[in-house]
Amino acid sequence: MRSYFLTLAIYFLSLFFGFSQDLIQELGRMYSNLDSGQFYLEEAKQKLNTPTDSGIYYFYVAEYQNLTNNTQESRRLFLEALPSYTEEIPSLQSITYIRLTRMDQFSGLFDQALDFAQQGFDFAQSIADTGYMAYHLADISVIHHDMENYALGVEYGKRALEILKASQDPNPFYQSISLNSIGINFDDWGKPDSALKYHFQVLDLMDELDSSRVFFVWNNIGNTLLKQKKYQEAEKWIQIAKGLNFKDRPNSYGLATNYTNLATIAYNQNQWERARIMLDSAKYFVEKSESVEKERDYLYEEYRFRKAKGELSSAIDYLEQYAALKDTIFKEERIKTIGELEAIYEVEQKERQLAESRARLAENELLVESRNNQVLLLILFLLISLGLGFFIFYRQKNKTRHLEQEAKLQAIFAEQQTQHRLQEQRSRISSDLHDNIGAQLTFIVSTLRNLKYTDLSKEKIAEKLDQISDFTVDTVNELRDTIWAMNKETIDMEDLQTRLYGLIEKANKACPDTSFDLEIDPKIELEGLSLNSMEGINYYRIIQEAVNNAIKHSAAKEIKILITSEGKRLLVIIKDNGKGMSGEKSLGNGISNMKVRAERIGRDLRVLTSPDQGTEISII
Higher pLDDT, 228 or 327: 228
Please list the alpha-helical segments (H only) found in 247-331.
252-268, 272-289, 292-309, 312-329
| Residue whose C-alpha is closest to residue 619's, from 585, 572, 575 | 572
Whole-number average pLDDT of the chain: 84
Cβ distance 487 to 533 under 8 Å? yes
Coil, strand, or helix at residue 397?
Answer: helix
Per DSSP, 561 falls in state E
User: What are the distances in angstroms from CA 553 to CA 411, 576, 582?
Assistant: 52, 11, 12
pLDDT, tens only, 564-600:
988 788 999 999 999 887 754 555 667 888 999 999 8
The number of beta carbons lying within 10 Å of the beta carbon of residue 79 is 13
Whether residue 432 has pLDDT greater than 80: no
Residue type, 448: L
Average the pLDDT over each of 3-12, 326-335, 373-382, 387-396 and give the range with the smallest value: 3-12
Confidence grade of residue 283 (pLDDT, cut at 50, 70, 90): very high
Strand 558-566 relative to strand 515-520, pairing: parallel
The number of beta carbons lying within 10 Å of the beta carbon of residue 517 is 10
Distance CA(448)–CA(459), nearest Å, equals 15
pLDDT, tens only, 495-536:
889 889 988 998 998 889 899 999 998 888 766 788 888 888
The number of beta carbons lying within 10 Å of the beta carbon of residue 216 is 24
SS (H, E, C) 590-618: HHHHHHHHHHHCCCCEEEEECCCCCEEEE
Strand 490-492 relative to strand 530-532, pairing: antiparallel
Per DSSP, 482 falls in state H
Supply the DSSP string of 27-63, one letter for each residue: HGGGGT-GGGHHHHHHHHHTT--SHHHHHHHHHHHHH
| Residue whose C-alpha is closest to residue 619's, from 598, 601, 600, 602 | 598
Higher pLDDT, 326 or 269: 269
The angle, 0 to 180 degrees and rounded to 10, between the axes of the packed helices 371-452 and 332-369 is 110
Please, how many CA atoms are within 13 Å of residue 161, restricted to the half-sphere of its CB? Answer: 18
Q: What is the pLDDT of residue 338?
A: 47
Confidence grade of residue 341 (pLDDT, cut at 50, 70, 90): very low
Q: What is the pLDDT of residue 528?
A: 73
Confidence grade of residue 453 (pLDDT, cut at 50, 70, 90): confident
**Helix, strand and coil percent figures for the chain, each rounded to 5:** 80, 5, 15
Q: What is the pLDDT of residue 21?
A: 72
Overall CATH class of domain 490-620: alpha beta
Distance CA(9)–CA(121), nearest Å, equals 18
Distance CA(121)–CA(377), nearest Å, equals 40
Supply the DSSP string of 103-115, one letter for each residue: HHHHTT-HHHHHH
Confidence grade of residue 448 (pLDDT, cut at 50, 70, 90): confident
Q: What is the pLDDT of residue 413?
A: 79
Confidence grade of residue 140 (pLDDT, cut at 50, 70, 90): very high
Following CA atoms 175, 177, 183, 189 in sequence, which dihedral angle do they give, to the nearest 10 degrees? -130
Whether residue 407 has pLDDT greater than 50: yes
The angle, 0 to 180 degrees and rounded to 10, between the axes of the packed helices 192-204 and 172-188 is 160
Cβ distance 574 to 560 under 8 Å? yes
33-50 average pLDDT score = 89
Distance CA(177)–CA(167), nearest Å, equals 16
Q: What is the pLDDT of residue 426?
A: 58
